[in-house]
Structure formats: C-alpha cells, structure tokens
Amino acid sequence: MSQEIKDRFRRFVAPTYGRFPITLDRGEGAYVWNTDGKRYLDLGGGIAVNCLGHAHPEISQVLADQSSRLMHCTNFYHFEGQAQLAENLAKRLGQGRVFFCNSGGESSEVMIKLARHYGQAEGRFEIITAENSFHGRTMAGISATGQGKIKDGFAPLLPGFSHVPFNDLDAVHAALTPATVAVMIEGVQGEGGIRPVSADMMLGLRRLCDEHNLLLLWDGVQCGHFRTGSFQSFQSILGDQLGDFLPDAIGMAKALGGGFPMGAVWIAEPHAEVLGPGTHGSTFGGNPLACAVANKILEVVDRDDLAANATALGHFFVNELAKLREKYSAAILEIRGLGLMIGIEMGGGFSSFDDGKPTALQWVSALHEAGMLTIPAGSSVVRFLPPLNLTREEAQAGLDLFEQTIQKIIA
C-alpha cells in the first residue's frame, strides 16, 4: 500500500518537495500512524501548524457543524464568524483591522502590497529584510526572502528588496535609502534555524521606523499564534519591556487554522485603510469554515491555557536538551528555543551518516526510524514545533526517543 502510494506520487505529483519515505494514514493528538500501522510522535506539528494536535474532537465538530450551515460565501457579504475572528485577533494586539487570506506566503504578499501602496505617492518602495529570512514562495515572497537558494533560477525577481545581517540595527541604518518604505522581519527566524530577534533590536527597529516613516512588517507566520508562549513572539521577547510596542502589520498563518489552510494580516489602525476597496482580495480568504475553525482554536487555547503550556514545556525541553548536550556534546552542538519553537544544532560526520545527505536530514531520518517526526532547518538544525497541547509525558517520550537515537548514531 505504502509503496503503491509512493509510486503514484512519483508519477502524478509535481516533484517540488524532497519527501521522506513515510506514508501517513491518520493522526490523533500528538501521534500519527503510517499506512503500516507504525506510530510516530509528531513533534514537527506539520511545521508549526497542528497547534491542537491531530483530529482534535472540537475542531472536527466545528468543521462538520459549519460545513452543514454555510461552507463558503464570497467576501462580498458579511457573516458573523469573520467579524468575530477579526475582533478576537485584533483584541490581542491593538487597534487595527484584519485582512484574511489562505497562507503565509499570501500574508507576506499583503504586507508587501501594503508597503508599496503606502509609499507609492512618494516613490518609496524598497523593503529591507534579514539575511536567512523566509517569507514564502510567491515571487514577492522569494524576493523578500534573504536566502539565495530560494531565489535561484527565478530572475528577474521583484525589485526593491535588500537583505541585512539578522539582529544588526546598524546594518538596517546603513541600508536605508530615500526609497525605503518598510522593514520586514520574522520575530523568530524559523526556516533560518530558530533565531529570535533580540529585544534591543525590536525596540531599535520601532524607533528607526518611526523616525524614517517606515512600516515595520512582522512575519509571525511560524513564530506566532502562541508558539512562543504569547500570542505573538514580540510579546514573549519583550516581556516587561513591551510597553506600547506594536508592529504596523503582522502576518499570520500556519497555526491560525490548526491544519485548515488560512492566513491573515493584522494592520495597525493608522494604516488600516491604506489598502482600500478594490486594492486586494481573495476568493477563499477568511471563509466561514476557516473562521469557524480559527475561532474554536482561540477558544480552546484560552480555555486550556495553552500559551502557558507552551512556555512551561518549552523550558522543560530546553533544560532537558541541555542535559543531553552535556552527555552527547558531539551530537548536540547548540540549543535555541522560545516556547515550543526549538532548534537543535546537530553534529555530523558519524559513521552511519554515509550517503552525503545534509546533517539535518540524516538526523530527521534517524528519528523517523525511532518513531518521531521533527522538521529540518538549514543544513544542520532539527526543529521541534509540537502541538501547544502536548503533555509533559509526551515531551518526555520525545526526549527519550531523541536520546535513544543519539546513542544509536554515535555508537
């Protein structure tokens, strides 16, 4: 069965992804099963998407209920679910309004279009982003992304993007030109290997943007939605220093729909009408099904205090991983984490790693054998992006599988 499905993938599915040889059949909570019945602990969470795990009964129920009531209507009409969701998201941030789309890449597009429209009258259009950043796979997204390998082969890219070293405010200053209109940044670089923006950098960027009339565009696609222990990562990182800090726009997707595809951009009130009627749109953006799921996720996260769970389990993971690092210093080189967004820089060159694959892929494959899903980043980072409702026992089970795998690889 599994081989037959893989063969059909090879014949009929576009080969844009390097897929692991795993054929999944079903999931429940933090676990998934393949078509042969093998169980995996899913610490990858579909790359930070499955925030309530798999097959959450309340999500399944709300999908079923909403689909039998009103599955889709165009954005030419009003309906309660979208109003409720926009209000619920905005209340967690500040005065502003929400545009709904379907993915993270589209949320980047919205922020880039917002910046272009904002600067249009003055001929300003340039956006500064960080090296090693990731903002999606659309043409604007890859133009904004600060990684050559994502852009290669797609010239000419959208003009007007420059990339500066991450967490380097002086470099942003130096990159300013009279045409600069915005700075776009991930709160925690995800694809770049789990690297948080520093509090000083955030506050410095906010000041710089205010001084130069630039928009501060925040890509919260991967690091948002409570993953770092707060709704958005700047709230976690700034903590007591938060004050009235707010970006001018925040891109969201991934965990927003917990597996139902959706994205959104919150736009701060002073700029909320920059993209006026007719300037942007999406057939499916914020449709009734997506909004019903997203509203239910927010209700469950609040009710079950999952932001606090993300903080507590994040500390647990990082502390326990630090102990493993002491024991296996050739295997674990560095641990970077904020809540349940954890990156582990792994060592390579072990004798069982013999087929020339990047270190991260070797470890992720070895963890598959042990019965655990994780996500590679860059050449040597293994990411844990588990559900926010993971239990301490499940976290411990993941750590045990991780240690067993290390022991096997270094033996």
Ligand X SMILES: Cc1ncc(COP(=O)(O)O)c(C=O)c1O
Residue 258 β-bridge partners: 260
Closer to ligand X at the Cβ: 190 or 314?
190
Residue pair 56/255 in contact by the 8 Å Cβ criterion: no
Dihedral-angle region of residue 153 (phi above 0 means left; psi in -120 to 50 means alpha; beta otherwise): left
Question: In this complex, which beta carbon is closest to ligand X, that of residue 29 or of residue 193?
Answer: 193
Q: Which of 357, 313, 331, 336 is nearest to 409 (CA)?
A: 331
Between 223 and 289, name the residue whose CB sits nearer to ligand X.
223
Which residue number has the CB closest to ligand X?
Answer: 104
DSSP state of 260: B
- Least distance (Å) between residue 219 CB and ligand X: 5
Rounded (5°) CA angle 61-65-70 = 145
Angle, to 10 degrees, between the axis of helix 359-370 and the axis of helix 392-410? 120
Residue 196: CB minimum distance to ligand X, A: 13
Shortest distance, position 368 Cβ to ligand X, whole Å: 20
Nearer Cβ to ligand X (222/374): 222
Question: Looking at beta carbons only, is 221 or 298 nearer to ligand X?
Answer: 221
* CB closer to ligand X out of 182 and 253: 253
Phi/psi at 290 (5° precision): -60, -45
Q: Which residues bind ligand X (CB under 6 A)?
A: 47, 103-105, 108, 134-136, 186, 190-191, 219, 221-222, 253
Task: Say if residues 229 and 51 touch (Cβ distance below 8 Å).
Answer: no
Given the complex with ligand X, which of 217 and 366 has the nearer CB atom?
A: 217
Report the residue number, 47 or 158, with the smaller CB distance to ligand X: 47
**Which residues, in sequence order, are CB contacts of 243 under 8 Å at separation 6+?**
none
**Minimum distance from CB of 254 to ligand X (Å)?**
6
The closest alpha carbon to 258, from 119, 56, 403, belongs to 56
Whole-Å CA distances, 256 to 102, 104, 135, 253, 297: 10, 10, 17, 5, 8
Work out how close the CB of 291 gets to ligand X at its nearest, in angstroms, rounded to a whole number.
17
| 109 closest CA partner among 198, 204, 219, 188 | 219
Closest approach of ligand X to the CB of residue 404, in Å: 29
Q: How far is the CB of 261 from ligand X (least distance, A)?
A: 8
Rounded to a whole number of angstroms, the minimum distance from the CB of residue 83 to ligand X is 24
The verdict on whether omega for the bond into residue 165 sits within 30 degrees of 0, i.e. cis, is no
